[in-house]
């Protein structure tokens, strides 16, 4: 069953890329303090994710931070090497924290996994965005099917 507003975010092991290579982290620590915007994508380097979803949050990062957001994070069921390469390719810099949910543990705990087997992707995350306040989901915007409307940076800004 998917999480809903009022639920605490799951605490799962994920990976982040550092200058010393991939490092394990816990989502409770990464996403549990202050006002956080988390958005999830089905896959790094995929067209909608690369051309619109991630760039929207990078471009709007200053506006989000002006509204009190302390951390903007992107999570995907990809490994840390892929997330790091994607961040460098899209010139993310420090605007967005890139989180690798390589085993899909966080995605499953959120109840927001999807079967992308028909596209050769296997088990992945649905596209969504969440506003998290001190570890509690305040708003959750899950895309109903394939597009990018309710989970865009603009939509999140409108909800803050």
Where do the DSSP E strands lie in 7-70? 13-18, 21-26, 35-41
**C-alpha separations of 27 from 36, 49, 72 in Å:** 12, 21, 13
Distance, in Å, from the CA atom of 121 to the CA atom of 138, rounded to the nearest integer, reads 30
49 is catalytic: yes
- The rounded Cα 40 to chain-centroid distance in angstroms is 3
Token pair of 88, please? 């460098």
Distance, in Å, from the CA atom of 130 to the CA atom of 72, rounded to the nearest integer, reads 10
Please tell me which residue in 17, 30, 37, 49 is annotated as part of the active site.
Answer: 49
Please answer whether residues 15 and 25 qualify as being in contact, where contact means their C-beta atoms are separated by less than 8 angstroms.
yes
Nearest to 129 by CA among 22, 32, 37: 37
Q: Which residues are catalytic?
A: 49
């Amino acid at each position: 069953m998917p999480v809903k507003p009022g639920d605490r975010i799951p605490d799962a092991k994920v990976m982040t890329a550092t200058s010393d290579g991939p490092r394990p982290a816990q989502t409770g620590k990464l996403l549990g303090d202050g006002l956080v915007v988390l958005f999830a994508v089905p896959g790094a380097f995929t067209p909608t994710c690369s051309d619109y979803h991630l760039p929207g949050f990078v471009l709007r990062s200053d506006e989000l931070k002006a509204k009190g957001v302390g951390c903007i994070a992107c999570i995907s069921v990809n490994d840390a090497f892929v997330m790091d390469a994607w961040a460098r390719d899209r010139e993310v810099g420090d605007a967005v924290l890139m989180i690798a949910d390589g085993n899909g543990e966080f995605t499953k705990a959120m109840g927001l996994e999807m079967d992308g087997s028909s596209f050769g992707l296997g088990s992945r995350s649905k596209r969504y965005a969440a506003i998290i306040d001190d570890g509690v989901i305040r708003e959750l915007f899950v895309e109903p099917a394939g597009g990018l409307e309710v989970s865009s940076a603009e939509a999140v800004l409108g909800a803050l």
